[in-house]
Chain A
Amino acid sequence: MLEFITDLGEGEPVPSRTHRFTVVAQDPSVHVSNADPRVLTSVVDIPSERYLPGPRGGRFHVVDVDAVSGRVMSQSAMEDRTVPSVDAVARAAATGVFDAAARAQNVYVVAARTLSIFEKALGRRIPWSFPGHQLYLVPAAMQDAQAFYDPETNAILFGSFGGSADGTGRSYTSLSYDIVAHETTHAILDGMRHRFTEPGLPDQAAFHEALADIVALLSVFSMAEVPRRLLDREGAGSFMPDSLVSMESLQNNALFGLAEELGAADDEHGGDALRRSVTMEPGTAWKSDPFYREPHKLGEVLVACVARTLLQIWSGRLAKLHQQGWPISTQLAAEEGAKSAAHLLDMCIRAIDYTPPIEFQFEDFVDAIIAADKEVAPDDARGYRDTLIAVFASFGIEDPPDTRHDVRTPEGRLDYSALHLDELKNDPDEVFRFIWENAKPLEIDTTYYLAVERVEPARRVGPDGFVIYETAASYVQLLNGTVADLARLAEEQGEELVIPAGLDRTTALQIQGGGALIFDEFGRAKFHQRKSIFDWLRQSNRLAYLVDRGRKNTLGAYGFSEGAADAARFRLLHEPADVAAESW
C-alpha cells in the first residue's frame, strides 16, 4: 500500500484529510489559451482514502473493461496505476498523451470530487441506490459518444469515439469533466431520491437531467482555471476590459462559450441542451410548448434558471468591484465566478433534502432552495435568494404558497410526549410515530399506506461559523385502486379525479404522495414540505400525462413502478425530445 504524502507542510510530512490531484478541467480539446497549447487542467482536492489497484477507494472502483468484448486490463497493468504514486493526468498533460492510467485517474477524481461536493453541502455520507458501497467506473466501456449510469451493473459506463483505427485521435467521454460529473450526479440523486424515476409528472424525470446538467456546469465553472480562460482566451491581458463586466457580455463570452465546448464532446445529450439552456430567454412560453412536456427538454428550463442566476450573481460581484474604480484583474474576476458557481451549487444541493421524495415539481425546487438557504444564512446579505427567486419567477417558476409549512408555530401544537429524541434522529419507525401522533396538525391523512423511507442527518456551516444540525426525513403515501375507485374517493372528498377520455374505468391506478420533514437540532419539526396524496388536481394532471404517454406497466396499470429494467429507467431520459413527443 502506498502512503500518500502531502506537500502542505515543511519538514515532517503531515497526514492530510484531502488528496490533491490534477484533472482535465473540461476535455483534452480545450487548451490553456490560444497562446498556450497545453491541455487546460485544474488541481482539485478530494477526501483522502486508501487506494487499491483500479484505482479503487471507499466509494468508487475503476475497472478498465471493454463492455462489448468483456476484456479487462490485466491485473498487473491495474497495479501500476494504483494512485497516486504518479499524478497520471499531470503527466499526460505534460506529454500530451492521455493514456489508460490518465483516464482511470481522471474519472476517479472527478467522480470523487462530485460526491464530495454533495457530501460537503449536506454534511453526511450519501448512499448509492443499490446495496453496496462502491460504484464501478468504466473509463472505456464502449465505442460510442455517450456515457450512462446503469444501476443494474452498479456502474457508470463511459464510451469513446472518433479517431483512427489504431486509436490515435480518439475522444474519451471519461476525460470530459462535465460528462463524468453529469453521470455521477445521476447516481448520487438516485441514491437520495430513488423514487424520482417513478412514473409521474414530467418534472420529476426532468429534474434528474436538470440537476445532472446543473452540477456539471457549476462544478466545471467552480474551478477558477475555467472562467479565467473564458475571460481571456488569448492569454494576453491580466486585467479585464470594462466591456466584459456586463451580464450580457459574460453570458455571450463566458457561459455560452463554455456551453458550446461542453456540448462538443457529447452529441447525444448534454451538448445542445446546455447551449439552449444558456441562451434561453426568460418567459413562460415553454409551458404551453408540447416539446417541453418531454422530461429531457423540460430539464433545460431549470438549467436556464440556474445559469441565469449564476450570471446575475457573478456580474453583481464584479460590478461591486468595478464601482471602486480600479481595474479588475482577470484572475480575480475568474475567482469571483468560481466562487459564485460553488455557492450556487451548494444552494442547489442543499435543497434536495427539502424536496418531496415523490411527485416532485419544479416549483418545489425553488421553494426548497429558499427554505434550505434561509436556515443556513438567515440574512442573505448579498441578496442571492432574491436574485434566485426573481430569475425563477421570470421563467414562470414560482414558490408555491401552500406546499411547505413552517410547523414551528402550528395552530395545533405538535405532541412529542411519546417520542425519544435520539430515535427521532435516525429511526424511520420513530418518525412514523411522530407523524401518527401529529397527523392532525401536520394535515397528513394516515388512513392509507404511509411509509417513512429515509431519516438522515444533515450538518451545514452557516456564514456565522455555527453548525446547523438538522434531520431530514421523508415519507411516501401510496394508494392502489381502479380508476373508478379513486374517482369515487375524490368525489367523497368533494373533488374530482378527471378520467381521460377513453380510459377504461376498471384500469388499475396507483396514486402517490409524500413529503419531507425537517427536524432541528433539538428534534423539533421545523418544516413540512408535502405533496398531498389527495391533491386531485395534481393527480388528474399526472393521470392525463401517463395515459397520454402510454406509461403503463405490463399489466396495463398506470402509475405503478413500471418494472422497467433499471438501466432502461435512465436510457429513457435520453430520447431526443422531438422523437419522444411524437411517439406513442
Chain B
Amino acid sequence: VSPVASVKPTSIRVRMYNVGFGDCFLLTFRYPGGTERHMLIDYGTNAKAKGGLALDDLGLKIAADTGGKLAAVVLSHRHRDHIGGFDPDIGGTSIKGLQPDVVLRPWTEEPGVEESGDPAFKLRRDLATALRSAEDLASDLERAAGSDDRRSLRGRIGAFAARQLKNRHAVELLHELSEGGRGRYLSAGEDPGTSDALPGVRITVLGPPLPDVWPAIRRQRADDDEFWLRMRDTLPAALALNGAAGDDEPGAPAANVDVRIGPEAWLVDKLRREGLHSTLRVVLTLDKALNNTSLILLIEAAGRRLLFPGDAQIENWSYSLSGPGSSERLTRKLAALDLYKVGHHGSRNATPKLGLLPLWLRPGAKRVPVAMLSTLEGQYDEAYPVPAQNLVDRLLQPPLRLINTDTFPTDARVFADVEL
C-alpha cells in the first residue's frame, strides 16, 4: 500500500554499520501509523574492523533491519569500499531480495555514457571514457604489483590499485536492480525522482557537477584519456621491471638496466625508487578522480537535514559551495544541518575547511550537526593518513559532536544508531 503523497515522515533513524574502512548507512524514515521506509547508502569496505561484521553477514542484517524491503539504494561512487557488498557473492543477493524501488548513482555510472554520440556531451563522454581507462590501468597495475603488502612501496601501489578495480559483479547487480526505469543517474541540480519511493523526503543533488558546467572536476587528468592510455603503456611494465627484485630498497639490483657503475648508476638507482613513488601518485590521482564522481546528497525530512557527500573532494564540493550551484538559500541550509556524514573517511581533502566549518561554528548557530565518520585508521596509505587527525580533533571539539566507528568496541553487533 503506497502512502498518499501528502504523507510525511515524522522522524529519521540513521544506522552507521561498522564496516571498517568503508561506508554503509541505513536511513529509516518513519511515517505516521508506524510504517517505515528504508534507504541504503553504500555498502562496502576495504578493510574490516577488528571484530567487525563481515560484509556478507551485514547483508543479512540489513535484510532484517529493513523488514525485507528497501525503498532506495544509493551508490555514492563505485569504489570498492562503497560498492563491494553489492557483489552477488558477498551481499548482493540479500540486497536484491529487498527489491529497491529506486537506485541512485552518479551520472558517470549510466551504461553507455561513454559511447553517447551527441557532440554536445563530448566533455561528459571524455570524462567517463577516461575513468574507464584509468580503471583498466589500475587492474594492470594491481597485477604487475602482485602484492598488497603495504610494508613495501610496490605493495602500497598494489593495495591502492586494488581499490580502484571495476567491481564488475557488483556493478552488474546494480544495473540489474536499475532496470525497468528504477535507475537514476544524477548530477548536481537534478531531480532524483524519489518522491514515490520516499514520500515527504526531499533529496537535493549537490554533486557531482557535470564537466561541461564545472571544469574543476576535470582537473588532474581526470578526463585525459590519452594520459591514462599512455600510463597504461608504461607504468605496469615499469613496475614489473623495477619490482622484479622483489623489493624496492636502495641497493636492490636494478633489473634489465644497462648502466655502468658511477654517478649515472647512482641516479638511476635513486630514480627507480622515485619512479615507484610517482606510480603511486598516479594511482592516487585516479583515486581522487573517482572520488570526485561522488553523489553529494542533501536529504531533508521530518524537519531534519542530513548531508551525505560520499567521498567527494574539493573540486566536486566547490560547485555547490562557491560555484554556480551555490546560493544563499543553500548556504542557510548547510549552516543548519542535523547530520553530516564525514567525507572520504575523514581524509584531508573531503570536508571543506573554509566552505563548511565556519557555517557550523558561526556565533548563535541553533543547529550543529552530529558528524558520523566511518573509517579505520592506518588503512589508507602511510603517506596520506586517513582520517586526518586535524579534522578528527576539530570535529571532537564542542559544539560539534563526532561518532567515529574507529572508536567502537570490537564487537560485531555494535553499530551507531542515531535518532533524529
Give the interface of A toward B (CB within 8 A): 61, 63, 65, 67-72, 74-75, 134, 136, 138, 141-144, 150, 152-155, 157, 161-162, 165, 290, 502, 550, 567, 576, 578-579, 581-584
Of A63, A502, A576, A584, the most chain B CB neighbours within 10 A belong to A584
B348 touches A584 (CB 8 A): yes
Q: Is the CB of A63 within 8 A of B278?
A: no
Q: CA–CA, A131 to B4, complex, Å?
A: 78
Known: A579-B349, A582-B353. A68 touches B388 (CB 8 A): no
Is the CB of B242 closer than 8 A to any CB of chain A? yes
B349 touches A582 (CB 8 A): yes
The 5 closest A-B pairs by CB, nearest first: A550-B390, A584-B348, A584-B391, A153-B270, A584-B388
Query: Known contacts A143-B230, A150-B274; is A576 also within 8 Å of B219 by CB?
Result: yes
A65's partner among B268, B388, B389, B391 (CB-CB below 8 A) is: B268
B258 CB contacts on chain A under 8 angstroms: 72, 74
- A69 & B349 in contact (Cβ 8 Å cutoff): no
Chain B residues positioned under 8 Å from A67 (CB to CB): 271, 274-275, 278
Complex Cα gap A578–B318 (Å): 9
Is B267 in contact with A65, judged by CB distance below 8 angstroms?
Answer: yes
B299, CB-defined interface residue at 8 Å? no
Chain A's nearest CB lies how many Å from the CB of B1?
Answer: 46
Stretch at the interface among B97-105, B162-170, B233-241: B233-241
A65 to chain B: closest residue by CB: B268
Known interface pairs A70-B242, A70-B257, A72-B259; A582-B264 also in contact (CB < 8 Å) = no
Q: Do A583 and B314 form a contact, CB below 8 Å, given A68-B235, A71-B257, A134-B263? A: yes
Q: Which B residues from 105 to 124 make CB contacts under 8 A with A?
A: none
Find chain A residues with CB under 8 A from B219 CB.
576
CA distance A513 to B35 in the complex (A): 67
- A567 contacts B314, CB within 8 Å? no
Can you report 6 residue pairs joining A to B where beta carbons are below 8 Å apart?
A63-B264, A65-B267, A136-B267, A550-B388, A550-B390, A582-B353
Task: Give the one of A153, A290, A576, A582 with max B CB within 10 A.
Answer: A582
Query: Is B27 an interface position by the 8 A CB rule?
Result: no
Chain B positions 201 through 242: 1 when the CB is less than 8 Å from some CB of chain A, otherwise 0: 000000000000000100100000011001101110110011
- Contact between A153 and B271, CB atoms less than 8 A apart: yes
New contact pairs (15) apart from A65-B264, A583-B348, CB-CB < 8 Å:
A65-B267, A68-B234, A69-B241, A70-B242, A72-B268, A142-B275, A150-B274, A152-B274, A502-B397, A550-B389, A578-B318, A582-B353, A582-B355, A584-B353, A584-B394
Q: How far, in Å, is B317 (CB) from chain A's closest CB?
A: 8
- A142 — which chain B residues lie within 8 A by C-beta? 275, 278
Query: B252-284 CB contact bits vs A (8 Å, 1 = yes)?
Result: 001001111001100110111011011100000
Docked pose: A164 CA to B268 CA in angstroms = 27
Cross-chain contact B351 with A578 (CB below 8 angstroms): no
**How far is B394's CA from A143's CA once the two chains are assembled, in angstroms?**
39
Interface string of B385-398 (1 = CB under 8 A from A): 00011110110010
A161 to B234, CA, bound (A): 13
Q: Is B354 an interface position by the 8 A CB rule? A: yes
Q: Which residues of A contact B263 (CB under 8 A)?
A: 61, 63, 134
B281 (CB) vs chain A CBs: closest residue: A571
Whole-angstrom distance from the CB of A470 to the nearest CB of chain B? Answer: 35
What residues on B are CB-neighbors of A579 within 8 Å? 313-315, 349
Q: How far does the alpha carbon of A567 sit from the alpha carbon of B391 in the complex, in Å?
A: 25
> A69, B353: Cβ atoms under 8 Å?
no
Does B352 belong to the interface (CB within 8 Å)? yes
Separation in Å of the A59 CB from the closest CB of chain B?
A: 13
Cβ–Cβ contact B349 & A153, under 8 A: no
Q: Which residues of B contact A582 (CB under 8 A)?
A: 314, 317-318, 349, 352-355
Q: Which of B231, B235, B263, B274 has the most CB of A within 10 A?
A: B274
The minimal Cβ–Cβ distance linking B314 to chain A, given in whole angstroms, is: 5
What B residues does A550 contact at CB under 8 A? 348, 388-390
Chain B residue with minimal CB distance to A501? B397
Q: Judge whether B349 and A68 touch: CB under 8 Å.
A: no
Q: How far is the CA of A254 from the CA of B233 in the complex (A)?
A: 41
Known: A550-B390, A576-B219. A583 touches B353 (CB 8 A): yes
User: What residue in chain B is nearest A503 (Cβ atoms)?
Assistant: B393
Chain A: CB-nearest residue to B397: A502
Cα-based distance from A567 to B389 in the complex (angstroms): 23
Task: Check A581–B270 contact: CB distance below 8 A.
Answer: no
Using known A-B contacts A63-B264, A582-B349, A582-B354, determine if residue A69 contacts B238 with beta carbons closer than 8 Å: yes
Please name all residues of chain A whose beta carbon is closer than 8 Å to the beta carbon of B238 when the two chains form the complex: 68-70
Asked if A581 and B242 make an inter-chain contact with CB atoms under 8 angstroms apart, the answer reads no
Interface residues of B in 351-393 (CB under 8 A from A): 351-355, 388-391, 393
Q: Find chain A residues with CB under 8 A from B233 CB.
A: 165
Q: Is the CB of A72 within 8 A of B264?
A: yes
Residue in A closest to B313 when the chains form the complex, CB atoms = A579
**A310 to nearest B CB, angstroms?**
31
On whether A68 and B279 interact (CB within 8 A), knowing A583-B349, A584-B348, the answer reads yes
Nearest chain B CB to A70 CB, angstrom units: 5
For B318, list chain A residues within 8 Å (CB).
Answer: 578, 582
- The chain A residue sitting closest to B385, CB to CB, is A554
Q: Is the CB of A69 within 8 A of B275?
A: yes
When chains A and B are docked, how far (Å) is the Cα of A67 from the Cα of B238?
A: 10
A65 near B271: Cβ-Cβ < 8 Å:
yes
Within the assembled complex, what's the spacing in Å between the Cα atoms of A502 and B226? 48
Separation in Å of the B246 CB from the closest CB of chain A?
16
- Residues of B near A144 (CB, < 8 A) are 278
A70–B268 contact, CB under 8 A?
yes
CB distance from B356 to the nearest CB of A (A): 9
**A232 to B277 Cα, complex, angstroms:** 46
A154 CA to B268 CA in the complex, in Å? 12
Are the C-beta atoms of A152 and B270 separated by less than 8 Å? Answer: yes
Report the bound CA distance from A165 to B232 in whole Å: 12
Nearest Cβ in chain B — how far from A435, in angstroms? Answer: 38
A581 and B278 in contact, given A69-B241, A550-B389 (Cβ under 8 angstroms)? no
User: Is A578's CB under 8 angstroms from B237's CB?
Assistant: no
Task: Please tell me if the beta carbons of A70 and B272 are within 8 angstroms of each other in the complex.
Answer: yes
A584 lies within 8 A of B390 (CB): yes
Q: Which residues of A contact B317 (CB under 8 A)?
A: 582
Q: What is the bound-complex CA distance between A134 and B274, given in angstroms?
A: 19
A136 surroundings in chain B (CB, below 8 A): 267
Closest to B237 in A: A69
> For the complex, what is the distance from the CA of A362 to the CA of B188, rounded to whole Å?
41
Closest residue on chain A to residue B347 by CB atoms:
A584
Task: Provide the bound-state CA to CA distance between A136 and B262, in Å.
Answer: 13
CB contact between B314 and one of A61, A138, A502, A578 (< 8 Å): that residue: A578
A54–B242 CA distance with the chains assembled, in angstroms: 24
Check A567 against B275 for contact (C-beta < 8 Å).
no
Given A70-B242, A583-B349, A584-B390: A567 in contact with B274 (beta carbons within 8 A): yes
CB distance from B191 to the nearest CB of A (A): 28
Q: In whole angstroms, how far apart are the Cα atoms of A144 and B220 in the complex?
A: 11
Given contacts A155-B267, A584-B390, contact A70 B353 (CB under 8 A): no
Contact with A along B174-217 (1 / 0, CB 8 A): 00000000000000000000000000000000000000000010
Cα distance A373–B40 in the bound complex, in angstroms: 69
Contacts of B231 in A (CB 8 A): 143
Pairwise interchain contact A584-B351, C-beta atoms closer than 8 A: yes
Chain B residue contacts of A153, Cβ below 8 A: 267, 270-271, 274
